[in-house]
Chain A
Amino acid sequence: MNLPLFMRDRDGIGYQAGLLGAFTLVAAALLVSGDRITRGPIAEREAEDLLASLSEVIPATLHDNALLANSMTLPTADAPLIVYRALEGLEVTGVAFEVVGQGYAGPIRVLLGIDANGRVLGARVLAHAETPGLGDKIELARDDWILDFDGRSLADPEPARWAVKKDGGLFDQFSGATITPRAVVGAIKGGLETFAAHRDTLTASAVLQTQIDEQVTDGRGTAR
């Protein structure tokens, strides 16, 4: 091996540094190629996951569009909210977006589907870290509790009853776990309120939205 002179002494700092550097370089190359190879499949899997969840909160009979294709971004107070819209022709028949409740062991992410009239089409828990056996009854796989929300709206029940029974509301809590269902009820109520506040924007006919999109795209095109 013809190493540069400063690296020939195996106990010298040059060899050590060169060795570490070489291994880091190889590792970086491997990671970059690994990322490039898997990026496509991983994005596909995640899109499939999202679509599977969306199809659970928006019935297929309600729309004829690809849900992932017709999303819009709603600027809200905290962070932009991605809203997926169900279209029948150009009419918005429902929307779905993610709401987050603060559970017993961290955030509970709930995907909420709402029809154009503000009724809950369905809600599904996407991710949570609640106690197994106690708080995980919010998952449909464990309990059908989450189905209680189907068909509810801000008027049904009245706002004061949008709470777990322990707080004088309508919805069951679980024995041994009150914080978890309370968080989910709160998150869904918050989602309905968001929908009510932005209803006109969210249910605006898709024609308008397409035009806006085109303008935005054109703007970007000329800027480049």
Chain B
Amino acid sequence: MTAETGSTPAAQGGAERTAGARTDWARIARDGLWDNNVVLAQSLALCPLLAVTGTATNGLGLGLASLVVMVLSGVLVSAARGIITPQVRIPVFVLIIATLVTLVDLAMNAWLHDLHKVLGLFIPLIVTNCAILGRAEAFASRNRIAPAAFDGLMMGVGFTLVLVALGAVREAIGSGTLFANASLLLGDAMAFLEMTLIPDYRGFLLMILPPGGFLALGFLLAGQRLLKRLPLPKRRAGAAATMSN
């Protein structure tokens, strides 16, 4: 499950460096949500993705936790980019990310305990989410704090959306429910999200188990590729060229 960490962050497209003083915020947002999405475009972070997306709620929980780590690591890496030398940057980034993940883990255990019981096993896995290290290396270490935080936010939102989408598909087909136990994560106010799509459903075990995750992810990726092919009149010609993989 650590095989994904093997891919070098440098391979993630070269367009992250914002040239000059002007920051293209819209560009960062589009990169994070779609063009350079952690999962859909970079195929990173598949280990936590496949592990937790048995339900939409679990996906949302891990997505939000990853998002927090991504924003904070972006800010810290960007703030320290002046003093970090290239020779020791990777251990320093790993240290920053590991510290943040541990703090998030402790905080969730203390204040979101019910969710932590469900996700607890997977929170430490955020460390192995090489998408975070990748953004630290490719974006945060080369940009000012505000764009780095925004990039972390957008990458995190993009990751969360994929997690929720995948979780929703697997949960709907596998258990016939949607957002089960959402109140554990979001409080009782959001209990209305919990839906039973198919009453008296016997369940379709395959979709809950890891193979179902691969199947659903395959369809999701295929769907995204199809959408990308559709001609978008407003898309700039250069946008497609930044896709590295």
- Give the B-binding residues of A (Cβ under 8 A): 10-11, 15-16, 19-20, 23-24, 27, 30-31, 34-35, 37-38, 41-42, 45, 48-49, 131-134
Contact = CB atoms under 8 A, between A and B. Distances in A.
A31 B102 CA distance: 8
A15 B107 CA distance: 34
B84 interface: yes
B48 to A, nearest CB: 18
Contacts of A15: 85
Nearest to A36: B106
Contact of B84 (A11, A19, A24, A48): A19
B111 interface: yes
A19 B81 CA distance: 12
A30 B111 CA distance: 18
Contacts of A30: 99, 103
Given A16-B88, A27-B99, A34-B103, A41 B110 contact: yes
A16 B92 CA distance: 10
Contact of A133 (B107, B110, B111, B205): B205
B95 A45 contact: no
A42 B107 CA distance: 9
A71 to B, nearest CB: 22
Given A11-B85, A27-B99, A38 B106 contact: yes
Given A11-B87, A31-B103, A34-B107, 9 more contacts: A10-B85, A23-B96, A37-B110, A38-B106, A49-B117, A131-B209, A132-B54, A133-B203, A134-B205
B33 interface: no
Contacts of B203: 133
A35 B110 CA distance: 10
Contacts of A37: 106, 110
A23 B106 CA distance: 20
A51 to B, nearest CB: 13
Contact of A42 (B91, B92, B109): B109
Contacts of A27: 95-96, 98-99
B95 A23 contact: yes
Interface in B176-197: none
Contact of A34 (B84, B96, B106, B209): B106
Most chain B CB within a 10 A radius of its CB, from A20, A23, A24, A134 = A23
Contacts of A34: 102-103, 106-107
B122 to A, nearest CB: 14
B103 A133 contact: no
Given A19-B92, A132-B54, A132-B209, A45 B85 contact: no
B113 interface: yes
Contacts of B209: 131-132
30 contacts: A11-B87, A15-B85, A16-B85, A19-B85, A19-B88, A20-B88, A20-B91, A20-B92, A23-B95, A27-B95, A27-B96, A27-B98, A27-B99, A30-B99, A30-B103, A31-B99, A31-B102, A34-B103, A38-B106, A38-B109, A42-B109, A42-B110, A42-B113, A45-B109, A45-B110, A45-B113, A132-B54, A133-B203, A133-B205, A133-B208
